[in-house]
Structure 1
Amino acid sequence: MRILPLALLFAPCLQAADLQTDVCIYGATPGGVAAALSAAKSGAEVVLVEPTARLGGLLTSGLSHTDFHSFESLTGSFLEFSQRVKAHYIKTYGADSEQVKACFEGTFGEPKVNLFILEQMLKEQTRITVHKQAVLTSVDVEDDAIAQAVFTTGQDTLQVKAKVFIDGSYEGDLLANAGVKYHVGREGQDQYGESLAPEKDDGQLQAYNFRFCATDDPNNRVPITAPKGYRREDFVAVLDFLKPGKIDRVFGYPSRCIVKAQTPALPNRKYDLNDVSRGLIRLSMPGHNLGWPEGDEATRQAIYEEHLRYNVGLLYFLINDPAVPEVIQQPAREWGWCKDEFTETLHLPPQLYVREARRMVGQHVYTQQDSEHAPGDARAKLFTDAIAMGDYGNNCHGTSHDGPQIGGKHGGEMYNPVPPYQIPYGALVSKERNNLLVPVAVSSSHVGFCALRLEPIWMSLGQASGHAAAIAIQTGKPVHEIQLAALQARLHQDKSATVYIADVLPGHPQFEAVQWWGTAGGLHGLNPMPDKPGQRGKNLHGQYFEANPGHAAELSRAMDESTRNRWLKLAVNLGLPTEDLAKAATRGEFIQTAFAKKR
């Protein structure tokens, strides 16, 4: 959601001026924040502009059960963020506390803690200037480059001139205003050859809902009250489903419930509430969000209020209406909003979960095939120009709804398992503007985007965008002409992975070397494709698993003839002398020797 209550949205901003900077970023989403941090680390002066009063997007607005599959996929900016969250809980409650255990290595942070950590990270970078409550109004373009962006800040304007612009918004507002081509809706199967796409293209959009933060702790609970415009008759139909064998609780996990109260709980007995995938009753509202991507502030505000009225109204009805069976209602009465969360917005998340809006049509359109297995390989398709990687899958909560909101059925859902995958630089780069990077409304098909739209991946894409912007400025090149090897090296130095490697993680002494070698293709072809595509490791709980099998570098493993010959051939292709490489006894020795020669 990019809207706050109007009193907050249009509150006067004390700082309205003309600014000149190296990098201007619009949207302090996780991707936008990561872009600001990396650009500043690379020496650039940064202006980060956020249209609302709260930084962090959904990471600080209710999405606290972070979506990922294995810890080994968390690197770079998101890993640093999650480690800081864990450190906060250790400092506050003690290393052996329940809060530290509940934070799941820092990936399950309370919204207020996530906000505190992101603000702290930004404050540490003195090259970053943050402007909140500044809404984009126009973009000036000169000679295929964005010259300046203009923002409204209450009654004033903020004009920012920059050498490179980054669109960190969920909606792609900056790219659209800059005249960059984008797509809204689903492409048909014939456009990109995607089996998960609909037969014909349409205007359907992945549904939105709120990610509430709730608790059953009576000491930190405030009642769920009726939202503005509440009408009892809108929710009476839910009574037909509150029967044995259908739905047996309001708050639960993973099914037979109205809302998903994701387990285990967050620290301090809080829960991230979400839509129940394939559920009988849904929080998500396909079709009711179609005006959002290209809508003005008033249109988005109306959609925000409609979702709030339905999402909160449904819970209020179930907790308070006398027609609800006592066996359902009594346990639900133990729940409420968290007294210490979202205190500025009546304990409700200030942002709606915008799962999909505009998507840039850039130099590389990321599609379904890009996250599928390479032929016969445990690994996904190789991208030697990768600047990020992810480990999730094509996930869509629905794009259409047949029948009434309560009692109908979603269409367009998908939950497609894939191996960890790479993301090429071209997905960040537009065709039209030589100084624009887009890490959130990233260039992708609808199906492809459903694998990318996750906070850890957005932060990796943002991190790559920030470093790329700095390199472009330092070398005087357009963003699409920078040296990718230099960008990849900077990312690896910054502990961000460009290929998934299960046993060589950030902090390992050979992390940079193994990332370089793996991104060049050295780790592809080592293990066969599993019998089940997207096969995962042992389940930890819910959607979380141990490391993906077939993705380890095994540095201590002795070199076999087949691997040595294949790696020597790759070394030749990379222009490396091979005399010492031929003598390497182990995989680790070979990679480290090759990396030393590369430098």
Structure 2
Amino acid sequence: MRLLVYLTILITPYLSCDSQDKQPSNKANSADVIIYGGTSAAITAAVQTVKMGKSVIVVSPDIHLGGLSSSGLGFTDTGDKSVIGGLSREFYQKVYNYYDKDENWKWQTQESYGNVGQGTPAIDGKNKTMWIFEPHIAESIFEDFLKDYDITVHRDSYLNRENGVKMKDGKINSITTLNGTVYQGKIFIDATYEGDLMAAAGVNYHVGRESNKIYNEEWNGIQVGILHHKHNFGDRKISPYKIPNDASSGILPKISGDDPGERGNGDKKLQAYCFRMCLTNNPENRKPFDKPDNYDPQQYELLARVYESGWNQTFRKFDAIPNLKTDTNNHGPFSTDNIGMNYDYPEASYERRREIIKEHEDYQKGLMYFIATDSRIPADVQSEFNTWGLAKDEFEDNNNWPHQIYVREARRMVGNYVMTEHEILGKTPVEKSIGMGSYTMDSHNVQRYITPEGHVQNEGDIGIKPKKPYQIHLGTILPKKEECSNLIVPVAVSSSHIAYGSIRMEPVFMILGQSAATVAVLALENNSTVQDVSYTEIAKQLKKDGQVLISPSKE
């Protein structure tokens, strides 16, 4: 879902230049497959549907397509790149082809680029793939996919979540958007981060962290005392109170006074969201950090105390992408992750989501302004920080701010098969693979609380690395047959919280989008439910289309 606060942005530029964008008509729009969502998974699902000879309409709440892949997350979470196949790999090959041309290095030469990726070189010349890219380049590649396959897209089209899903005999007949447009299809794919169509269709789902007892896991649930990364206060003994060490003075902003709970217990809380900013220190392309709406320097008092304690990792996650830009992510005990401010987002109304997104935007812009201007910031940090700013040539219709908030986790379906840490860590084999993942089981912080000793601490940020790539079960994208027999869910997949921490990577979403469309088309060809398609047929088609179903030798 894009940054909803900008609902009034005109889409005329898209409608005038892209033949595949067609205005919804008053009569029902119909296709073999209706895809709801504008994520990277939505695009690969649409392309695969057309490649297999069926008609498709993408109904997108987003104006800008590609989800986080085109909204700042350009420092790709690759894991083991040898298991990224099919259309997902084709996307990264298209990135390579773009940057293989000297004229596309506007602000620096390719030779001066550091070529550092996340656990892998950014540019893989042998396999002609590139894993790191600018946001607008990713978006243009997704747009080219749609144009090349003449895919119909209806943008700025929000599902009527109250009564817009019409079902009969356990199948979705049609969906209706808030503007009254009806879409009829034989198979539906929910490719949203939030799982809105899935939920509106009455499919069972989970929000928050399950107790470890539910799936006999170790790393699910509350993780008090587990400090795997550097996104915590460690033993700094920083006071959470307005007047240090005086509980009667009140608690600082962004800290909960509630008991965090016991390790391993479940809760309804979510790992934190943020925006993946595209920054630059190139003076010709830099926009200084402005004072945002509702700016309150007291919101960042805790950060000032972190600096006073000697913390010095401000620029640790200014990860380099081409043309002197960054994909800037959360890092440290107090950073861009707006911990604890998103708990009601998954099931919230559109209006409430807009409020949550605006609060996150104001918080993060305020954080930038605070570091750039406040007298409590160390002089050397502030001096260097003020060489940075938003990249002027990114997100140009949104004041250079990302279109999409990073919904790291929202609803997760409870479907035909639930992936858990046991599959991710190789303890339980997967028999019906539709693709592979390999990234660390990664959860960002979920809550910020007060320890029994009276200090502030974060909880929920953990990382457990699989020993080798793992297979993703077909049942993770399929609802239970009795709940809905013509819906496929490749993003809000059926998995536990901690397993989703690995699955939720953009290359995997593209993989699962392609696999979802494959199942959809085969169901149509066999006149069957999506649950009854032969896995043998699915695997045969996926292998034909370059999907990696078992781990190959490393590239």
The C-alpha deviation readout for 1:197-229, integer Å capped at 9, x for no partner, is 223221111111111000111111011111111
Cα gap change, 1:403/1:269 in structure 2, threshold over 3 Å: closer, same or farther?
A: farther
Q: 1:57 aligns with which of 47, 60, 67?
A: 67
Q: 1:70 aligns with which of 80, 83, 87?
A: 80
Q: 1:458 aligns with which of 488, 500, 509?
A: 509
Does residue 502 (structure 1) correspond to residue 553 (structure 2)? The answer is yes
The C-alpha deviation readout for 1:136-167, integer Å capped at 9, x for no partner, is 00111011000001012xxx322100000000
Distance in structure 2 (CA, Å) of the matches to 1:213 and 1:98: 21
- Larger CA deviation: 485-494 vs 2-11: 2-11
Distance in structure 1 (CA, Å) of the matches to 2:95 and 2:498: 32
Does residue 202 (structure 1) correspond to residue 261 (structure 2)? The answer is no
Query: Shift of the alpha carbon at 1:241?
Result: 2.2
Q: 2:473 aligns with which of 424, 434, 444?
A: 424
Name the residue aligned to 2:46.
36
Name the residue aligned to 1:570.
none
Q: 1:391 aligns with which of 417, 428, 438?
A: 438
* 8 A contact 1:363–1:430 mirrored in 2: yes
Distance in structure 1 (CA, Å) of the matches to 2:310 and 2:87: 42
Name the residue aligned to 2:531.
480
Cα gap change, 1:130/1:340 in structure 2, threshold over 3 Å: closer, same or farther?
A: same
Q: Which secondary structure does the structure 2 equivalent of 1:174 belong to?
A: helix
Query: Shift of the alpha carbon at 1:328?
Result: 1.5
Q: 2:321 aligns with which of 244, 263, 266?
A: 266
Query: Shift of the alpha carbon at 1:448?
Result: 1.5
What is the letter of the counterpart of residue 178 of structure 1? A
What is the letter of the counterpart of residue 439 of structure 1? P
* 8 A contact 1:167–1:438 mirrored in 2: yes
Q: 2:382 aligns with which of 320, 329, 333?
A: 329
Distance in structure 2 (CA, Å) of the matches to 1:188 and 1:201: 4
The C-alpha deviation readout for 1:547-578, integer Å capped at 9, x for no partner, is 6xxxxxxxxxxxxxxxxxxxxxxxxxxxxxxx
Q: Which secondary structure does the structure 1 equivalent of 2:130 belong to?
A: coil
Cα gap change, 1:94/1:449 in structure 2, threshold over 3 Å: closer, same or farther?
A: closer
* 8 A contact 1:213–1:272 mirrored in 2: yes
Name the residue aligned to 1:109.
133
* 8 A contact 1:139–1:148 mirrored in 2: yes
Cα gap change, 1:94/1:58 in structure 2, threshold over 3 Å: closer, same or farther?
A: closer
* 8 A contact 2:170–2:485 mirrored in 1: yes
Query: Shift of the alpha carbon at 1:91?
Result: 3.0
Query: Shift of the alpha carbon at 1:237?
Result: 3.5
Name the residue aligned to 1:320.
373
Cα gap change, 1:140/1:229 in structure 2, threshold over 3 Å: closer, same or farther?
A: same
What is the letter of the counterpart of residue 15 of structure 1? P
Name the residue aligned to 1:409.
457
Name the residue aligned to 1:448.
499
Gaps of 5+ in 2: 16-22, 116-121, 124-128, 222-263
Distance in structure 2 (CA, Å) of the matches to 1:239 and 1:427: 44
* 8 A contact 1:216–1:334 mirrored in 2: yes
TM-score by length of 2: 0.83
Cα gap change, 1:290/1:228 in structure 2, threshold over 3 Å: closer, same or farther?
A: same
Distance in structure 1 (CA, Å) of the matches to 2:187 and 2:202: 16
Does residue 178 (structure 1) correspond to residue 229 (structure 2)? The answer is no
What is the letter of the counterpart of residue 170 of structure 2? D
* 8 A contact 1:170–1:441 mirrored in 2: yes
Query: Shift of the alpha carbon at 1:319?
Result: 0.6
The C-alpha deviation readout for 1:490-511, integer Å capped at 9, x for no partner, is 11111111112125xxxxxxxx
Name the residue aligned to 2:234.
none
Distance in structure 2 (CA, Å) of the matches to 1:454 and 1:184: 18
Cα gap change, 1:172/1:7 in structure 2, threshold over 3 Å: closer, same or farther?
A: closer
Whose Rg is larger?
A: 1
What is the letter of the counterpart of residue 216 of structure 2? G
Gaps of 5+ in 1: 254-259, 375-380, 504-546, 548-599
What is the letter of the counterpart of residue 272 of structure 2? A
Query: Shift of the alpha carbon at 1:249?
Result: 5.2
Distance in structure 2 (CA, Å) of the matches to 1:416 and 1:147: 42
Distance in structure 2 (CA, Å) of the matches to 1:190 and 1:132: 42
Name the residue aligned to 2:280.
215
Distance in structure 1 (CA, Å) of the matches to 2:503 and 2:69: 15
What is the letter of the counterpart of residue 326 of structure 1? A
The C-alpha deviation readout for 1:239-294, integer Å capped at 9, x for no partner, is 22224x732253x22xxxxxx212xx111010001111xx2223212321011100
Does residue 246 (structure 1) correspond to residue 310 (structure 2)? The answer is yes
Q: 2:350 aligns with which of 278, 291, 297?
A: 297
Name the residue aligned to 2:4.
4
Q: 2:216 aligns with which of 162, 178, 193?
A: 193
Query: Shift of the alpha carbon at 1:372?
Result: 1.6
TM-score by length of 1: 0.77
Distance in structure 2 (CA, Å) of the matches to 1:358 and 1:87: 36
Cα gap change, 1:296/1:3 in structure 2, threshold over 3 Å: closer, same or farther?
A: farther
Distance in structure 2 (CA, Å) of the matches to 1:130 and 1:190: 43
The C-alpha deviation readout for 1:360-395, integer Å capped at 9, x for no partner, is 010001111111234xxxxxx432311111111211
Query: Shift of the alpha carbon at 1:450?
Result: 1.2
Q: Which secondary structure does the structure 2 equivalent of 1:160 belong to?
A: strand
- Root mean square deviation, CA, Å: 2.0
Q: Comparing both chains, which one has the higher relative contact order based on Cα–Cα distances under 8 Å and sequence gaps of 6 or more?
A: 2
* 8 A contact 1:62–1:213 mirrored in 2: yes
Does residue 23 (structure 1) correspond to residue 23 (structure 2)? The answer is no
Distance in structure 2 (CA, Å) of the matches to 1:268 and 1:47: 35
The number of residues matched between the two structures is 480
Distance in structure 2 (CA, Å) of the matches to 1:323 and 1:203: 36
What is the letter of the counterpart of residue 408 of structure 1? V
